[in-house]
Structure 1
Amino acid sequence: MAFYKSPPDFVGDDTLTIEVKYPGGRTEIQKITVNVAGPGGQKI
């Protein structure tokens, strides 16, 4: 499980990387892009 919280007043694209470890030793790196539009914001 992962949680994301943007900095206060941040608007735009943010990228994060998580490492997922599975039983048996397998590991994956996942890159996720989050678009922060702000409360009630719409991207035009």
Structure 2
Amino acid sequence: MEFALQLIIILICLFYGAKKGGIALGLLGGIGLVILVFVFSS
């Protein structure tokens, strides 16, 4: 269950970044990774 939630968060960030294009893809991918590191680090 936790893996599915993590995957959904990363995919949402990446798809939103891809829709915006350019540097937003890398920025939002990084934001997704920061969320994974600090929210799901148990």
Could you state the TM-score of these two structures normalised by the residue count of structure 1? 0.24
Higher relative contact order (CA 8 A, sep 6+): 1
Rg comparison, structure with higher value? 1
Q: If each structure's helix is expressed as a fraction of its own residues, which one has the higher value?
A: 2
**Larger strand percent:** 1
